[in-house]
Amino acid sequence: MMKRILGAFGALLILLAADAAFAASRIKDIVDVEGVRENQLIGYGLVVGLQGTGDSLTNSPFTKQSLQAMLERLGVNVRDASMRTANTAAVMVTAKLPPFGTQGATIDVSVSALGDAKNLQGGQLLVTPLMAADGEVYAIAQGAIAVGGFDIQGDAAKISRGVPTQGRIANGAVIERELQFKLSQLQTVRLSLRNPDFTTSRRIAQAVNDLYGTPIAESTDPSTVRLTMPPRYKGNIVDLLTDVEQLIVEPDLPAKVVVDEATGIIVMGQEVRVSTVAVAQGNLTVMITESPQVSQPNAFSNGQTAVVPRTQIAVNDGKEHQLAVVKSGVTLQELVDGLNALGLGPRDLISILQAIKAAGALQADVEVM
């Protein structure tokens, strides 16, 4: 009964995933617009105000050097002094510069310990420049760190939750430089499909051309649809993209079976087809159980206590697993029902699907994660 329940639940998940994958979607949900993207920022800084949970300067020489350089810039000479502070930690600061972020706007930043700091709770990040891949500074971060985890330890017990060496600063960075990208000056704009496909790309171009009655959209490859600015939208590409991204199209995906061997998850697309094939599965299982019993003599007798071995052996040769025939051209529901009828678990289903693919009877790609 449990196998049937699990099998039905697995079939339901597969069918729901397939229906969701092939549902009609807005163009804005399946494409990205050229130039409208985030940019990664990174910086190196110091966190102060920790309650003795910072870096040990002997094990983290970069923290000591950074602390000395910062104090010297503030007019404090500690070059030859011996410092043993444990209230400072070197951290890496990361953030995402949003598309069209304007100068003076604020963004969130993530702070992660770089040395052997134990906890960043209560720390204050000092002024930290955040650079992009081109080496230019685009934002400045500073502020109090909010840490969601904690680590409490005593002599005989320890409680941990989350990661106390990582935290966030809401609106902790100010944008100082804007990206030099002028969307309004583009005469053509490209739409990039998140799941490249020839049919989907062509359907997007047809939907746009049907809307305007003129061929302003062209499918150049499975990943790209190029839009040409119509005369009535000249100088206002935002209106064009707003109208286009609301159009409804039905994405077309190739037949694919996705297998995650680590978790035993199997997801099959709606277009998966199987040629006529016979499937059988059976494993030889030998179970040996040792149940020793203690035999004691009667009272006031000359006998000795002895341990008597008791062994039980059970053999399962898989005779109940019969040979099943999967007919050609079956639907996804029939394929799932046929495999579940064999009484198989997810691990066995993965092996069977791979074997059917190796036999050339599975008309789909098998992707193992």
Residue 328: per-residue pLDDT: 55
The answer to whether residue 6 scores a pLDDT higher than 50 is no
* pTM of the complete model: 0.67
Phi and psi, residue 141, nearest 5° = -110, 145
The answer to whether residue 284 scores a pLDDT higher than 70 is no
Q: Looking at per-residue confidence, does 286 or 337 come out higher?
A: 337
Residue 1: per-residue pLDDT: 44
Residue 341: per-residue pLDDT: 67
Residue 17: per-residue pLDDT: 45
**Cβ burial 165-197 (10 Å sphere, 16+ → b, else e):** bbbebeebbebeeebeeeeeeeeebbbebeeeb
The token pair that represents 327 in the structure block: 């007919």
Residue 365: per-residue pLDDT: 81
* Whole-number Å distance between alpha carbons of 132 and 233: 33
Residue 345: per-residue pLDDT: 67
Q: Average pLDDT for residues 287-310, to the nearest whole number? A: 68
Q: Average pLDDT for residues 175-186, to the nearest whole number? A: 86
Ramachandran class of 228: left when φ > 0, alpha when ψ lies in -120 to 50, beta otherwise: beta
Per-residue pLDDT tens digits for 121-166: 889 999 999 999 999 999 999 999 999 877 776 666 777 777 889 9
Confidence at 13, pLDDT banded by 50, 70, 90 = very low
List all residues 6 or more positions away from 126 whose beta carbon is below 8 Å from its beta carbon.
Answer: 45, 46, 47, 48, 70, 142
Q: Looking at per-residue confidence, does 289 or 225 come out higher?
A: 225
Inter-residue long-range contacts of 291-299, CB under 8 Å, 24+ positions, other chains counted: none
Residue 343: per-residue pLDDT: 65
Confidence at 2, pLDDT banded by 50, 70, 90 = very low
